[in-house]
Amino acid sequence: MTDDTPDDTAPAPGPVVVSTRAELRDALSAWTLSGPEPTDRRAVVMTMGALHDGHLELVRRARQEAGPTGQVVVTIFVNPLQFGAGEDLEKYPRDLAGDVALLAGVGADLVFAPTPDVVYPDGDPVVRVSAGRIGEVLEGAFRPGHLDGVLTVVLKLLQLTRPDVALFGQKDAQQLLAVRRMARDLDLPVEVVGVPTRREDDGLAMSSRNAYLSDAERTSALALSQALRGGGLEAAAGHGVAAVLATASGILNAAPDVVVDYLALVDPATVEEVPADHTGDALLLVAARVGTTRLIDNQAVDVAPPQEDDAAGQEATRD
């Protein structure tokens, strides 16, 4: 006899994987026609693949945002527009089968994994999105055109997937701000949600590029998160902007194989550097090369007003 008892140990079915615009339209329409509940939403998570638990945390959050019977779409696309000359486009890690297997366990319904000719059917687009001033400082200064390429592909993927909500990691703080400004300035009908950075047990921010690090470089890379924590403690103690940057810089400069591109304390709404007498919310950002691998990280800090002893000392110095 055949045992028809449901097997509770059987793996959940994986997400539907599509690669063309027509397949994507059909998959999106099928969900719409299935009669979702009024509170259900479509949530999208945009990735370049080589997924790690930081990405999976975005998908878990997307599942919450979409609702139990909402639709969670994950895009996997290594976007050539956001890679500059000499960057790692060709060697960027790719593992679609492994990515889909991971997504099966975190609530993804649909994976859109197009090739460049699907996203850019006419080749490099003539019309692109400009990140404006946000794209000219920090990451924009070290990677000219990078954020323009990010915003261009994000806008295209938003148009193709038509989500109610789009989720981005806070590790790419400048990117998140640029996407939010684009959505606001261009009146895009999407809610942009930032999700906190996922870290390894030792504090290193999760990144697909961590796979490039040797064991020694992996140890050196911890200087980024340690510098952010050190600067955050100075901010909380009311020691001021200069002390925040000096402490963080000292930790970075003491680490072997770490070459800093920038370390900045910025306004979280504009990414402009805060003045020396700033107090209140700020964002401490770092980008550095560890060996040949470029990493970024950031931490929100609250710069407390100077303590009375510090303030008195500063006044005496001025006198």
For residue 71, say whether it is annotated as part of any ligand binding site.
no
Give the pLDDT score at 87: 82
Given this model, what pLDDT does residue 34 score?
86
Known active-site residue 55: yes
> Fold for domain 16-195?
Rossmann fold (3.40.50)
- For residue 52, say whether it is annotated as part of any ligand binding site: yes
182 is in an annotated binding site: no
Q: What single string gives the DSSP state of each residue in 162-222?
A: --SEEEEETTSHHHHHHHHHHHHHTT-S-EEEEEPPPB-TTSPBP-GGGGG--HHHHHHHH
pLDDT along the chain (319 residues), means of 10: 48 86 97 87 97 97 95 97 86 93 96 98 96 96 96 98 98 97 98 97 95 96 98 97 98 97 97 96 98 96 82 50
CB of 174 closer than 8 Å to CB of 271? yes
* Cα-to-chain-centroid distance, residue 120: 23
> Is there a binding annotation on residue 187?
no
Q: Where are the CATH 3.40.50.620 domain residues in the chain?
A: 16-195
The annotation status of 172 as a binding-site residue, yes or no, is yes
171 is in an annotated binding site: yes
For the chain, residues classed under CATH 3.30.1300.10 are 208-301
Per-residue pLDDT at 13: 75
Under 8 Å CB-to-CB from 196, ≥6 apart: which residues? 170
Report the distance separating Cα 102 and Cα 99, nearest Å.
5
The reported pLDDT for the residue numbered 6 is 47
Query: CATH homologous superfamily of domain 208-301?
Result: Pantoate-beta-alanine ligase, C-terminal domain (3.30.1300.10)
- The position carrying tokens 């026609």 is 33
Q: Could you say which of 55, 146, 239, 278 is catalytic?
A: 55
Kindly report the number of other CB atoms within 10 A of residue 52's CB atom.
Answer: 16
pLDDT at residue 35, rounded to an integer: 80
